[in-house]
Chain A
Amino acid sequence: MASTAHGSNAAAVRLAPQVNMTDLTTTTSEKEALVRFEISDLNFFYGAKQAIFGLNLKIPKNRVTALIGPSGCGKSTFLRTLNRMNETIRHTRVVGQILLDGQDILKMDVVGLRRRVGMVFQRPNPFPKSIYDNVAYGLRINGYQGRLDDLVEHSLRRAALWDEVKDYLHKSAFALSGGQQQRLCIARALAVDPEVLLLDEPCSALDPVTTAKIEELMFHLKDSCTMAIVTHNMQQAARASDFTAFMLDGKLIEHSETSKLFTTPQDPRTEAYITGRFG
């Protein structure tokens, strides 16, 4: 709980600088909802082509939910509906309801929504700036007035990168290795203290050692963050997630606790996929 309060504290600093810690703990405990995202009957269209069909899913708070499925099954598309990133693509359409803490995200201000729902992408995509400026970017655009140094350090620590870069903060982010860059991108996303972190195949471009680091990092982040991760790697889903959702052809086939889904899948298609018979 301590770390939740700590994490949300930074959020409060952003939203209302005068809110202090005690106020905040009361408000968080008041709405101690177990579900962060509640998606009901979600349909998604690229032009005339439908990519997601009637999807219903609850994403529990402070847990890691993995989305697995073969390429093109719509799992990335689904992830990107959660912070409305698909809106940057022309001719896309969402039908259905997505509730974030009970509020309909489709009716929210998109900028405010994305401040609450951060995202890490498939390929590390640091800005062509220094390590420090990468992390500070989100704080600066949000008009954060406090000491940037502290929050940059805090974010880099949360992303388990601080010890490796503390002496090179003003070096270009591109001087880092791929895995470090990806953790920098996580730190950058964490800097604005999102309630949810969406990870779109964050390890697909990384080696196993670095992947393990990121999985460990996700484990620690659970205290303060809800995570949804798209992955091609079933071992990763099995290792790093609490819940797993299996998607096929734009439909949610099965969703349950990770241990259950991988040991006793209810649907034959899930079983076929996780045993490697297709996909």
Chain B
Amino acid sequence: MDGAAPRHVGGPRSFVARLRDGDEVAHLITLVFAAVILLITSMLVYELWVSSHLSRAQFGWNFLWTQTWDPIFDHYGAAPFIYGTLVTSIVSLIIAVPLGLAAAVYLAELAPRNMSDSIAFLIDLLAAVPSVIYGLLGIFVVVPVVRTTIGPMLINTVGNVPVIGRLFKGPNYGVGFLTASIVLAIMIVPFIISVSREVLLTVPREQREAALAMGATRWEATWKVVVPWARTGIMGSIFLALARALGETMAVTMVIGNDPKIRESLFASGYTIAAVIANEFTEATGDLYLSALIELGLVLFLMTFILNGLARILIVATERGGGRPS
């Protein structure tokens, strides 16, 4: 200690002392990096807002529910794209959530550990495959299968059910909402499995043992104790998946048919916001056309924002009555 000044001798230390100790530096640097996130978000909104000025001035709120998308007469509405984005995202979640959750439960709770780990490695690999590859898989595999097998099967079964049946009527060419949803589901399942599995593995073993000690079967302990404990994390994985589904561009545009129409049937072609922006941006000749595309981007951003907000509310709401310590 001799020779060196004591690090701290009561009383507040000088700024320079704190700077030298690293506290202040670390504080400043991390603060700046955190602020960058805020900056990027606000720049994004600002840019979308300003660049979509023409379109907003021309169509106002009507933009959201107008069904026409007509570059020739310069009349633009977002409704078919919002519809397509929501339908494909929701249907893909309906397919992917049970599948992903079941796989995660198996890998975390039932499978031998080394098998679980090696499959988890493959799943993480799947999550990293570029979406255009999934698009190819869609074109060469999913489209023909929907056209020849899944489509006719659905038409002949659920197609006859009163209300839901209307979703499965009409011509089935293989491209459309359903195919896009299936491809999306394949893409987002790895996210759900990977994150849910990690979360399930962090559930304290005392929770499981508490249930087993009361005479719960392994499945009862898993389904009624372990999964509820991991609920927040599982929800998180689902919303991560939803975010990817909402914004997915390439794979969807390859199989959805790219037709800006609102149609009831899941076999019909449609369009999504991300797909239309990617497809038409380079050909957008008029200023209004370009502005309308940018406004679509703004709409997509807000949709993601709102859905994330709803997700938060949902998580908080389901926590009530039994929130675990955080």
Q: Give residues in A with beta carbon < 8 Å to B.
A: 83, 85, 88, 90, 111-112, 114-115, 118-119, 121, 123, 125, 127-130, 133, 137-138, 141-142, 170, 172-174, 185, 188-189, 191-192
Contacts and interface: CB of A to CB of B under 8 A. Distances in A.
A172 B318 CA distance: 12
B324 interface: yes
Given A173-B322, A174-B323, A137 B215 contact: no
Nearest to B215: A115
A128 B215 contact: no
A138 B229 CA distance: 17
B224 interface: yes
Interface string B197-219: 00000001111111111111100
A130 B321 CA distance: 6
Interface of B: 113, 204-217, 220, 224-225, 228-229, 321-325
B205 to A, nearest CB: 8
Given A172-B321, A174-B324, A112 B209 contact: no
B213 A189 contact: yes
Contacts of A130: 321-322
B322 A88 contact: no
Given A118-B214, A141-B220, A125 B322 contact: no
A191 B220 CA distance: 17
Contacts of B321: 129-130, 133, 170, 172
B109 to A, nearest CB: 11
Given A141-B215, A174-B323, A185 B210 contact: yes
Contact of A125 (B207, B216, B220, B323): B207
B220 A88 contact: no
Nearest to A114: B215
B210 A111 contact: no
B221 to A, nearest CB: 9
Contact of A128 (B205, B214, B217, B323): B323
Given A127-B322, A133-B322, A138 B215 contact: yes
Give me the 9 closest cross-chain CB pairs, A-B, nearest first: A115-B215, A128-B324, A119-B213, A125-B206, A138-B214, A129-B322, A114-B215, A128-B322, A125-B210
15 contacts: A83-B213, A85-B212, A88-B209, A88-B212, A111-B217, A114-B216, A115-B215, A125-B209, A127-B229, A133-B322, A138-B214, A141-B214, A170-B321, A172-B323, A192-B215
Contact of A127 (B113, B205, B207): B207
Contacts of A185: 210
Contacts of B325: 174
Chain A CB within 10 A, most for which of B204, B205, B208, B211: B211
Nearest to A140: B224
Nearest to A171: B321
A188 B214 contact: yes
Contacts of A118: 213-214
Contacts of A83: 213
A137 B212 contact: no
B202 to A, nearest CB: 14
Given A141-B220, A172-B322, A173-B322, A121 B215 contact: no
Given A133-B322, A191-B214, 5 more contacts: A85-B212, A88-B209, A119-B210, A121-B210, A138-B214
A119 B209 contact: yes
Given A128-B323, A141-B220, A172-B323, A192 B214 contact: yes
Chain B CB within 10 A, most for which of A119, A129, A188, A189: A129
Nearest to A115: B215
Contact of B209 (A85, A128, A191): A85
Contacts of A189: 213-214
Chain B CB within 10 A, most for which of A90, A170, A174: A174
A218 to B, nearest CB: 17
A84 B200 CA distance: 23
A85 B208 contact: no
Given A141-B220, A174-B323, A121 B209 contact: yes
A118 B325 CA distance: 25
Contacts of A112: 215
Chain A CB within 10 A, most for which of B215, B224, B322: B215
A184 to B, nearest CB: 11
